[in-house]
Chains A and B, each alone.
Chain A
Amino acid sequence: MRFGNWFEIGRMDELARQDTPVHRLDARAKLLATGAFIVALMSFSRYEISALMPFCLYPFVLISLGRIPFGFIFRKIIIAAPFAIIIGIFNPFFDRQPALVIGSFAISGGWLSFASIIIRFGLTAGAALALVACTGIYRLCAGLERMGLPRVFAVQLLFLYRYLFVIADEGSQMKRSLELRATGLMPVGLRVYGSLVGHLLLRAMARSERIYQAMVARGFDGEIKIAQKTSFQSADWTFLFGWIFFFTVARTWNISDWLGRMLAGSAP
């Protein structure tokens, strides 16, 4: 976990607090649409590239309408990319049959499927990040809970998110004081590590005890109430079914190919 990420997570909250047409949509509509998007995208055959292009529309629309800076999403996608690249990069080595021919230049199936993996990674990650940036953790959890997520787990997500910053702050204070006192000795040995992280753990637990006391003092009876009652409006239905219709069309017919044939006139 890089340090930079911590500040960005606060940025995500800021973005989620905006008020735009997509922010106003019910979280469930956005969750279901994003799920349909990912499933439709991943159900293509592994060599598909051109048919994936229409799918760019979904994250682009969320990002544009939700007033989310494109660079912010892009940077987060790049940071998360290594795993997909590492696994995908093997495809060109193991699949060398030519699959695409442009003039006398042949591209092997492996490079094609690698490109397909990278595009799909960018699109799925982008859609997920855009979803969170225009919904926010609170509405997301409330939506998930109303879709059947056990309450204990929804509450756990909210608690975790709320105390991420607090405990991370303590962790970074510890790290900083360690760096100041033990110059050149970083990273520390196992024994010192045990006591450092152990102290962090004990502090976290002590804090949870204080939180609990404060909750009890305010009438906590073992049940957390999530106070977010939204109902599906016509805009939510339109959003959800509009996108599902679009995904179905784009999944069934290759829109890019059709456009290309119409404009380039190279009907085979």
Chain B
Amino acid sequence: MHMADALISPAVGGTLWVVSAGLIAYCARKLKQTMRDNLVPMMGVLGAFIFAAQMINFSIPGTGSSGHLGGGLILSVLLGPHAAFLVIASVLTVQAFFFADGGLLALGCNIFNLGFFPAFIAYPFIYRPLAGGAGSVSRSWIAAIVAAVVGLQLGAFSVVLETKASGISELPFGTFVLLMLPIHLAIGVVEGLATAAVVSFVARTRPEVLAAAPVAAEDKTGLRPVLIGLAIAALIVGGAVSWFASTHPDGLEWSIAKVTGKEEISGSDGGIHRKLTAVQEKTAFLPDYGFKSAEAAGVNAEKASAESAAVESESWPAVTAGTSVSGIVGGLITLGLVCLIGFVLKERRINV
């Protein structure tokens, strides 16, 4: 669920950048206060471990598909929330820089969605109370699954909110929620199972490793009431919606097929299809109409072209064939020019 730059507005991306940068600074300060020296290489190596662990898959019982470790929750269990948040943020940064997996503008969103919820909500408020001390095995399994599910549901819901607030995707809110939450319910269960399997193995073989993990945020920063309120609100919304949704764990393609299928069905019983044909009929007469209105609006267009492009394109329903053609021709010419410049620069360095 790495968001890409292409779906985010600068306002949303910038806001989440500020939030994530603030959280990174907060965690860095917290770590500095309580830092054990050997945590420095430990954090680096565990970040690398998250990458490596994703190479190994396990089969999900009863489905025929396979899953792997996500990372947020197990890092919190091993390192405590502050260090875990920094490790998740660093993993996401490396993914954005080297794999174009989530963009730079979207990095703040991704760090918040995939780091904040597991480290500061799911781990301290769900995993720790449910798992209790180093006691029963079944409790820690349940704790891991519930915590992973909640963490991912909140993350997925916040992906929906951020995308919606950016206004670039046309997906209606409800459809998007129904698309994201059930998928991430399934992913959450898988993540929980994987986390629990690894944690219980470590608890059996090297229990001292788990005991060394710092306890959850016991500081009294005043952050907690805000977070709890936010968590409860989001939980109610997220939980309620995914409760009603189907939990068929077949992944993204299935959901899309379902959504697009629905779209077709609703089209066949009249509404959209009929509207579309009507639109097409109308557009067949448009060139004539378009040129006429272009003439009439000639003075206005002249003025508008001097204004910013945003204003111009906001009035898009009033497009004319004339502006469309010049836009296309100009776009192609510009692209050609850019390619030429790139080519010349490349040539030049070969000659030099």
Contacts and interface: CB of A to CB of B under 8 A. Distances in A.
B167 interface: yes
Interface string A138-167: 001000000001111101111111111011
Interface string A181-197: 00000111111111111
Contact of B97 (A110, A132, A207): A132
A267 B280 CA distance: 26
A64 B342 contact: yes
Contacts of B325: 102, 260, 264, 266
B97 A137 contact: yes
Nearest to A21: B349
A contact face: mostly helix, strand, loop, or mixed: helix
Central interface residue in B10, B287, B334, by most chain A CB within 10 Å: B334
A197 B341 contact: no
Contacts of B327: 49-50, 254, 256-257, 260
A101 interface: yes
Nearest to A171: B52
Interface in A40-89: 42-51, 53-54, 56-57, 60-61, 63-65, 67, 76-77, 79-80, 83-84, 86-89
A16 to B, nearest CB: 10
B87 interface: yes
Given A113-B170, A152-B28, A257-B327, A159 B202 contact: no
Interface stretch (B88-96, B121-129, B226-234, B235-243): B88-96
A145 to B, nearest CB: 11
Central interface residue in A63, A103, A153, by most chain B CB within 10 Å: A153
Given A64-B345, A101-B319, A256-B331, A125 B4 contact: yes
A184 to B, nearest CB: 12
Interface in B320-349: 320-331, 333-335, 337-339, 341-343, 345-346, 349
Interface in B90-109: 90-91, 93-94, 96-101, 103-105
A268 interface: yes
Contact of A198 (B43, B61, B205, B349): B205
A190 B58 contact: yes
A208 B196 CA distance: 23
Contacts of B54: 1
A153 B194 CA distance: 27
B181 interface: no
A194 B61 contact: no
B158 to A, nearest CB: 15
Contact of A39 (B10, B35, B169, B342): B10
Interface string A206-222: 01110110011000101
Contact of B338 (A53, A118, A189, A268): A53
B177 interface: no
A196 B283 CA distance: 62
Interface in B16-52: 24-25, 28-29, 31-32, 35, 37-38, 40-49, 51-52
Given A44-B309, A162-B44, A64 B346 contact: yes
A268 B298 contact: yes
Contact-size category for A: 35 or more
B238 to A, nearest CB: 19
Given A12-B98, A150-B28, A190-B61, A94 B201 contact: no
Contacts of B206: 202
Contact-size category for B: 35 or more
Given A39-B105, A61-B345, A175-B55, A216 B94 contact: no
A209 B3 CA distance: 35
Contact of A200 (B52, B263, B290, B326): B52
Interface in A7-25: 9, 12, 20
Nearest to B327: A50
Nearest to A3: B55
A160 B10 CA distance: 28
Contacts of A89: 256
A222 B316 contact: no
A95 B45 CA distance: 47
B contact face: mostly helix, strand, loop, or mixed: helix
A242 interface: no
A45 B48 CA distance: 39
B99 A80 contact: yes
Interface string B292-305: 00100110010001
B256 to A, nearest CB: 7
A255 B159 CA distance: 34
B7 to A, nearest CB: 6
A174 B3 contact: no
B321 A53 contact: no
B234 to A, nearest CB: 21
Nearest to A122: B6
Contacts of B13: 39, 42
Contact of B197 (A104, A151, A190): A190
A266 B322 contact: yes
A256 B330 contact: yes
A188 B256 CA distance: 29
A61 B24 contact: no
B90 A224 contact: no
9 contacts: A43-B310, A50-B328, A83-B1, A86-B256, A106-B279, A106-B286, A167-B48, A197-B56, A208-B46
Given A38-B103, A251-B308, A268-B323, 13 more contacts: A42-B6, A44-B310, A48-B313, A61-B342, A67-B349, A156-B47, A156-B86, A157-B94, A164-B51, A192-B58, A193-B194, A194-B196, A254-B330
6 closest A-B pairs by beta carbon, nearest first, are A260-B330, A159-B44, A194-B197, A171-B52, A198-B201, A268-B322
